[in-house]
Chain A
Amino acid sequence: MRIQVNVNGQSREAEVEPRLLLVHFIRDHLELTGTHWGCDTSNCGACTVHLDGEPVKSCTVLAVRTDGHEVTTIEGIWSGTELTPMQEGFHWEHGLQCGFCTPGMILTATAFLEKNPNPSEAEIRDAISGNLCRCTGYENIVKAIQWAANEPSASVASREL
């Protein structure tokens, strides 16, 4: 089946089998390997992308389901010159160890702060409860999200990375 998906602001067309999962479309067809393929069972959240602005687990979405829709991956939130506040938060608060869960964490947390800009710590922990960090680095991930919530205007230009 021929599909046309808006991925990170660009129209991408491909001929795919209906059984192809979105995570494999993104990684293997579009070669956007920032979206990680983790547990394959809708548990870990490493494959999180935004579908029409909402974070979803791309291992559990058929690629054909996204025909005519918008998908944003971790590559798509980076402007090319400046980190987003959430990326900066992960940098400053050391919100990653091995980094495997990080793209999913950042996409989930970014969408979460758009809905809830001033969250409590409990709300943050609930928001990322579908994203697993096997390094168990949750403390700093929570701090990173708090950093982004507290300094929404912060940009890389004002800091030496």
Chain B
Amino acid sequence: MQVPARFEYEVATSVDEAISLLQRHGPEAHVLAGGHSLVPMMKLRLASPEVVIDIHKLDGELRYIRDDGGVLKIGALVRHQDLLESELIKERYAVLGEAEALIADPLVRNMGTVGGSLANGDPGEDLPAAFVALGCEVVVRGPDGERTISIDDLYAGFYETILEPGEIVTEARISWAPDASSYTKVKRRTGDYAAAAIGVALNMNGEEIEDVRVGMCGVGSTTLRARGAEELLRGQRPDAELYKRAGERAAEESEPLDDARGTVPFKRDLVKVLLGRALAKAVERAEGGA
């Protein structure tokens, strides 16, 4: 039977209170949102916070999906299921909806939160890769007020973010509404993490790819952005040969590890193939197809 180590439990009733609780209890305190990463880690004793600060009562402040003059704002306590059910996401941000449909399983998606999956720093989480594709900014609040961090800069390492002690993620903010986007993933079964997954978002200019961003999940010690592949794609007319070259470039940029989900060469091959599929799907969408 898996039982977490003993901890002290606090419930925050506002973001400000959560921040002051984090300050008061110091570095051994941990925020609990949906709990579907933290609680399993606590059960396995991979995490043993002395204090757990539960923020589930902050739905009023942090559970919203809104279009603010073309800027998509997603509150940190939005559940995976909320994103899946959002018409706005379905219409304009396919990469998020497609990633969500592949995350864990429907029951876990009822509890897991956007803020939690951003702040957890797990390179196997899908949402950060989808957010990399969209060039998301992460809004955090701490004792000194609010600041925004580019998703490209959020991760310092395996399960490590650049958040300061006392800061919590409050919002994901996306200013870019790309012409089209998509997410592709290979996993062993429902509920499993990705062996590899790729999110892309792009703008077309006539028959050329004007701008593109590529996020990679599960193939490095952090969520990765395939900048070399992006560069190779910009200004080019999409075809099978271009997808192949971009895939090969992204595979070089990936840093996968051997594990139960596959060997390094297998995962690099997945990156290559998945990027091609993701690009083909997004380009087809941008050109008015499915």
Q: Which A residues have a C-beta under 8 Å from some C-beta of B?
A: 1, 17-19, 21, 40-43, 45, 48, 54-57, 60-62, 64-65, 67, 108, 112, 126-127, 129-131
Kindly list chain A residues whose C-beta atoms are within 8 Å of the C-beta of B56: 65
Whether the pair B190, A130 counts as a contact (CB closer than 8 A) is: yes
B110, A19: Cβ atoms under 8 Å? Answer: no
Q: Are A127 and B106 in contact (CB under 8 A)?
A: yes
- The reply to whether the CB of B35 lies closer than 8 angstroms to some CB of chain A is yes
A131–B105 CA distance with the chains assembled, in angstroms = 9
Of B9, B43, B105, which is in contact with the most chain A CB atoms at under 10 Å from its CB? B105
Per-residue contact bits, chain B 19-47, to A (CB 8 Å; 1 contact, 0 not): 00000000000001001100110110000
A19-B2 contact, Cβ under 8 Å, with A60-B35, A130-B107: no
- Residue in A40, A42, A64 whose beta carbon sits within 8 Å of that of B36 in the complex: A42
Asked if B106 and A129 make an inter-chain contact with CB atoms under 8 angstroms apart, the answer reads yes
A126 CA to B1 CA in the complex, in Å? Answer: 29
Flag if B4 contacts A19 (CB, 8 Å): yes
Chain A neighbourhood of B35, CB < 8 A:
60-62, 65
Whether B3 is near chain A, meaning CB under 8 Å from some CB there, is: yes
Closest to B44 in A: A41
Give the shortest distance, in Å, between A58 (CB) and chain B (any CB): 10
Contact of A54 among B5, B39, B110 (CB under 8 A): B110
- Asked if A19 and B6 make an inter-chain contact with CB atoms under 8 angstroms apart, the answer reads yes
Residues of A within 8 A of B5 (CB): 19
Rounded to whole Å, the gap between the CB of A109 and the closest CB of chain B is 11
Contact with A along B128-161 (1 / 0, CB 8 A): 0000000000000000000000000000000000
> Is A40 touching B107 in the complex (CB atoms < 8 A)?
no
Q: CB of B163 within 8 A of chain A? A: no
Q: Are the CB atoms of A45 and B52 closer together than 8 Å?
A: no
Q: Which residue of B lies closest to A53 (CB)?
A: B110
Knowing A62-B39, A65-B56, the reply to whether A130 touches B108 (Cβ < 8 A) is yes
